Structure 1
């Protein structure tokens, strides 16, 4: 009877020990949780991009026309000259172009209206150089701070707020331990 009781107690203790979920997280695990989260929910910066029928002045809009021609060279837009008003002996002529987004631009276009679109100008990816900093708040939550490096897209020249003060951002995510799914980023 004594052996049977010891056997039952040891099965119960082993059963409870086996059911205990892992409540600690290390730097490598925190990094992989953030990588998985960023694959599903990428970080990016956007701007409004005008297209359709646009008039360019050869003097004042020359820089903008160069930006559009660069996109056309990469196959993201198509430019069709509709009208050219060249003024005799004047340096200020005007050109009207029909600008159309191509299929190649679709991964960078988030929202599209008749004459403007919301496009990604910067994408942020996890930096390889700076390690993941984390602190475990308690047994089921942790705070993770990562460095995300800035990767400009082809639409970056159209960003009006292109302050190049740094080429990375730091972001803090809160991780929560779920019994079913393990460590996940809490929104």
Structure 2
């Protein structure tokens, strides 16, 4: 009987220590948690993009037309000339194009409103060069600072704020330990 109670007590102690959740986190685990979070909630920068029927004047808007032609060459938009008013020996000719988004552009288009769309111009991904910097605040929370490198998309020429001071951003996330799911980013 005494042996049985000793076996039962040792079984309970071993069971309780085995069920204890891990309350520490290391650099690799923090990077994995942030990577999973960024897959579900990507960081990006957006801009407004005009499409539909757009008029271009030869002297003023040729640079803008070049942006659309670049997108058309990559298959993100289709460009069809609807009307061309070419004035003889004049620089003030005008062209009207019908611009439509293609299926290839759909991963970069976030929202459409009539003849305007909100598109991703820059996406941020976890940098491989700079390590994850983290500090464990207490047994159930940690602060993680990561470097996210900038990756431009094909819509990047439409970014109004084109003066980029750096090709990365630094972001701090707060991690919380959940008994059910483990370490997760707290929103």
TM-score by length of 1: 0.95
> 1:98 — aligned with what?
98
> 2:27 — aligned with what?
27
Superposed CA offset, 1:105-153 (max 9, x none): 1111111121011110001111110000001011011111111000000
> 2:129 — aligned with what?
129
> 2:57 — aligned with what?
57
> 1:82 — aligned with what?
82
Q: 1: distance between equivalents of 2:144 and 2:162?
A: 27
Q: Does 1:70 align with 2:70?
A: yes
> Where does structure 2 lack aligned partners over 5 or more consecutive residues?
none
Question: Structure 1 runs of 4+ off > 4 angstroms?
Answer: 1-5
Superposed CA offset, 1:79-130 (max 9, x none): 1111111122211211111101111111111111210111100011111100
Following TM superposition, by how much is the alpha carbon of 1:4 offset from its aligned partner in structure 2, in angstroms?
4.7
> Where does structure 1 lack aligned partners over 5 or more consecutive residues?
none
Q: Does 1:148 align with 2:148?
A: yes
Q: How many aligned residue pairs are there?
A: 187
> 1:185 — aligned with what?
185
SS in 2 for 1:16: helix
Q: 1: distance between equivalents of 2:3 and 2:72?
A: 83
TM-score by length of 2: 0.95
Following TM superposition, by how much is the alpha carbon of 1:3 offset from its aligned partner in structure 2, in angstroms?
4.4
Q: 2: distance between equivalents of 1:146 and 1:109?
A: 26
